[in-house]
């Protein structure tokens, strides 16, 4: 059984529609795929409606969070699965995050335009679905279209990373609050790519242990940004803390070179993860 628990659609910053994503998952030989768009559940319905026979869909989301690391706020992403999407607390927080993301993106785009870069904020937003989470990948795509860079990765390196002049910080959810919110809504949580050193500051093992104390269910161990040493350390940490271990591609369509199923989750780990949830059911094609 091949299981990929981290994939994005056009409901956030992927390039496949939810329907195209589940079709691509089936085409890649997956048995299970999780839809984990940033701070939204808008893709759940369309993905379910288009689910190919034999494919299981795990409804989820990737939540934008912040962790306290010795007084420094570190950006972390929390994968939430099988929670009740109608939870009032979750609906309100996801709406706040989407609004904050759109305001942040517009500010960054306006800074670029003011410096003479060929970026039009209104054009960028015209291409986004209404109320979709707007993120730096959308701005990166605009830079590619304008010919300023050749790839999304190059756009991040040259213009959009923390420390660059156009970067604007986010006001994300404290990770402990997010874990408790998802747990209360019947869901389970997995810390996404915790040792992705290439993305900037990462949290320590001690901070992950604190998350476990607040109800974190698992750690994403096998991820494209984790080198062998990071994977070995995370497996040991998961065993020490009693956390489940997942593996996922973090698929974004053509925005990244990673393919669906390039990293996968052990079936026993997946069964244990799903067994801890009570808020929503998997969808079976």
Q: Do residue 147 and residue 201 come from a single domain? A: no
Output the pTM of the full model.
0.85
Is 152 a residue whose pLDDT tops 70? yes
DSSP helix/strand/coil, 212: helix
Q: Do residue 231 and residue 111 come from a single domain? A: no
**70: phi > 0 → left, psi -120 to 50 → alpha, else beta; which?**
left
Q: Do residue 193 and residue 62 come from a single domain? A: yes
Q: Do residue 88 and residue 105 come from a single domain? A: no
Is 245 a residue whose pLDDT tops 70? yes
CATH number of the CATH domain containing 58: 3.20.20.140
DSSP helix/strand/coil, 250: coil
Q: Determine the pLDDT at residue 263.
A: 97
CATH number of the CATH domain containing 109: 1.10.150.650
Q: Do residue 261 and residue 187 come from a single domain? A: yes
Q: Determine the pLDDT at residue 53.
A: 96
End of a domain among 160, 189, 206? 160
Q: How many domains does the chain have?
A: 2
* Banded pLDDT at 47 (limits 50, 70, 90): very high
Residue 185 lies in a domain: yes
Q: Determine the pLDDT at residue 98.
A: 82
CB 8 within 8 A of CB 37: yes
Q: Do residue 74 and residue 150 come from a single domain? A: no
pLDDT > 90 fraction of the chain, expressed in percent and rounded: 66
Picking from 50-64, 157-171, 172-186, which range would have the lowest pLDDT averaged per residue?
157-171
Residue 270 lies in a domain: yes
Q: Do residue 78 and residue 152 come from a single domain? A: no
Is 132 a residue whose pLDDT tops 80? no
CB 215 within 8 A of CB 249: no
Residue 165 lies in a domain: no
pLDDT averaged over the chain? 92
Domain span at residue 251 reads 3-94+170-284
Separation CA 217–CA 231 (nearest Å): 17
Q: Do residue 153 and residue 280 come from a single domain? A: no
End of a domain among 160, 178, 211? 160
Q: Do residue 71 and residue 181 come from a single domain? A: yes
Separation CA 191–CA 26 (nearest Å): 26
Task: Report, as an integer, the average pLDDT of 246-262.
Answer: 93
Is 189 a residue whose pLDDT tops 90? yes
- SS in 3 state form for the chain? CCEEEEECCCCCCCCCCHHHHHHHHHHCCCCEEEECCECCCCCHHHHHHCCCCCCEEEEEEEEEEEEEECCEEEEEEEEEECCCCCCHHHHHHHHHHHHHHHHHHHHHHHHHHHCCCCCCHHHHHHCCCCCCCCCHHHHHHHHHHCCCCCCHHHHHHHHHCECECCCCCCCCEEHHHHHHHHHHCCCEEEECCCCCHHHCCCCCHHHHHHHHHCCCCEEEEECCCCCHHHHHHHHHHHHHHCCEEEECCCECHHHCCCCCCCCCCCHHHHHHHHHCCCCCCCEEC
Q: Which residue has the tokens 């709406």?
A: 95
End of a domain among 132, 160, 188? 160
Q: Do residue 61 and residue 176 come from a single domain? A: yes
Q: Do residue 84 and residue 139 come from a single domain? A: no
Is 130 a residue whose pLDDT tops 70? no
Q: What is the pLDDT of residues 14-40, one digit of tens each?
A: 999 999 999 999 999 999 999 999 989
Q: Do residue 216 and residue 276 come from a single domain? A: yes
- Take residue 88 and report the two structure tokens written for it: 């009032």
């Amino acid at each position: 059984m091949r299981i990929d628990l981290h994939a994005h659609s056009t409901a956030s910053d992927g390039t496949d529609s939810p329907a195209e994503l589940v079709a691509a998952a089936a085409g890649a030989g997956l048995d299970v795929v999780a839809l984990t768009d940033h701070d939204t559940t808008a893709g759940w319905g369309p993905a379910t409606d288009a689910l190919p026979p034999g494919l299981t869909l795990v409804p989820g989301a990737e939540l934008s969070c912040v962790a306290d690391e010795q007084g420094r706020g570190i950006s972390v992403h929390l994968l939430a699965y099988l929670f009740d999407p109608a939870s009032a607390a979750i609906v309100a927080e996801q709406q706040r995050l989407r609004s904050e993301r759109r305001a942040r993106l517009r500010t960054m785009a306006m800074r670029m335009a003011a410096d003479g870069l060929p970026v039009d904020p209104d054009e960028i937003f015209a291409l986004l679905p209404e109320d979709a989470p707007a993120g730096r990948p959308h701005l990166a795509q605009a830079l590619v279209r304008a010919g300023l860079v050749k790839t999304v990765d190059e756009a991040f390196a040259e213009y959009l990373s923390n420390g660059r002049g156009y970067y604007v910080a986010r006001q994300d959810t404290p990770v402990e609050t997010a874990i408790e919110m998802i747990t209360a809504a019947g869901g389970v949580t997995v810390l996404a790519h915790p040792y992705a050193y290439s993305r900037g500051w990462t949290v320590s093992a001690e901070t992950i242990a604190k998350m476990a104390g607040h109800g974190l269910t698992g750690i994403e161990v096998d991820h494209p940004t984790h080198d062998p040493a990071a994977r070995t350390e995370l497996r040991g940490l998961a065993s020490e803390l009693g956390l489940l271990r997942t593996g996922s591609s973090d698929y974004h369509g053509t925005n990244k070179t990673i393919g669906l199923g390039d990293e996968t989750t052990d079936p026993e780990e997946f069964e244990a993860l799903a067994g801890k949830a009570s808020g929503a059911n998997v969808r079976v094609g």
